[in-house]
Amino acid sequence: MGDTVKTPATAHHPWAAMNQEELEAEYSPSRWSKRHGAQQIIGIHVKVATDLSQVAFSLTHRLNIPYSDQGPRAKLDVFGEDLPAESVLLVYVHGGYWQQMNKEVSSLFVKPLYHAGVVTVVVGYDLAPQVSLERIVSEVRAAVLWACKLARERGSKGVVLAGWSAGAQLVTQVLSTPEVKGDTPSSTDLTPYKDLIGGVVTFSGVFDLRPLVKTSVNEPLHLTDSTAWAMSPLASVGVMGRARPSLRLLISVGQHDSPEFKRQSKEYCQACVEAGMRAECVVVEGMDHFSIVEDLAQEKFSLTQRIVSFVKLCTTSPHADTPKHDKKDH
């Protein structure tokens, strides 16, 4: 994979042969759950996520901290600052196709992480169509910078980024696109913290935005084929690989995600491996697009345990090998 954002030919991609109806189905996660109908699952997920997130507020927390003056949602919450100073920080970015959800329902797995000695930063951001996708990426980069500064001030062992669905695009795009350097308040240069960010975890992510252009998802985004590719982490894996060759990635996707979501995760993982990074893709059995994050609230959930192990690997054993092939999680 190269690092140019020039839009490549798409004929060899499976999605290129799909009509609009087929693309709409593939990129509508609610249609693939085995638990609930497409009309019910999003509402059920919001209710479950809200209830599970409330558990986090029993822990030490700071809420609604502005990390940027860019917009009213550019705020974050921090949980677990009473943990030892060297504790790892995990920065979590929610999904919702850049136009839904919020940080208030995104603290699902804060408590298990806290018990594992991890400080969690949950990021909010402004949504489309009020702002562009470029603006959202800029906000998330500012949030990551804020978290890195906190980690450095605390003497943390490291930072791990995590994102679900659209949040997976955001945390990987932040690390694979140019940064705004300088001494101004708008500077979002992460270069001084390059060695602090040790890993990325994604849940049912989207890494190539071109298939979305002809779907209803794009109505508030107004992406073209070229701008969709420019906003795709897959387009600039080489940039991230050269800037952060020691970066580790844990790319997870649900067994009951759509074939396109599973293909995207596997393709992105392979691209990361080819770019020299340590990446593995895990297909989590029994999980759909929503349960894969809901079940993270459970300490004994296999993916929760894998994340805890991954965080430790990223921040304590930078030279250890990580498997570079697809896995099934049982």
The catalytic residue positions are 165, 257, 289
| Contact by Cβ (8 Å): 207, 257 | no
Residue 102: burial class (beta carbons within 10 Å; 0-12, 13-18, 19+): middle
| Contact by Cβ (8 Å): 143, 175 | no
In single-letter form, the type of residue at position 33 comes to: S
Alpha helix (H) ranges present in 8-158? 20-26, 41-54, 110-115, 133-154
234-237 own/partner pairs: CB under 8 Å, 24+ apart = 234/1, 234/207, 234/208, 234/267, 234/268, 234/271, 235/3, 235/4, 235/5, 235/208, 236/3, 236/4, 236/5, 236/176, 236/177, 237/1, 237/3, 237/176, 237/268, 237/271, 237/272, 237/274, 237/275
Q: Which residues have CB under 8 Å from 98's CB, separation 6+? A: 127, 128, 133, 136, 166, 220, 221
- Stated as kind and residue range, the H or E segment containing 227 is helix 225-230
Q: Which residues have CB under 8 Å from 139's CB, separation 6+? A: 68, 70, 71, 74, 125, 126, 131
Distance CA 123, CA 73 (A): 9
Structure tokens at 132: 């562009």
| Contact by Cβ (8 Å): 86, 155 | yes
- For residue 128, CA distances in Å to 125, 168, 212, 277 come to 10, 17, 15, 32
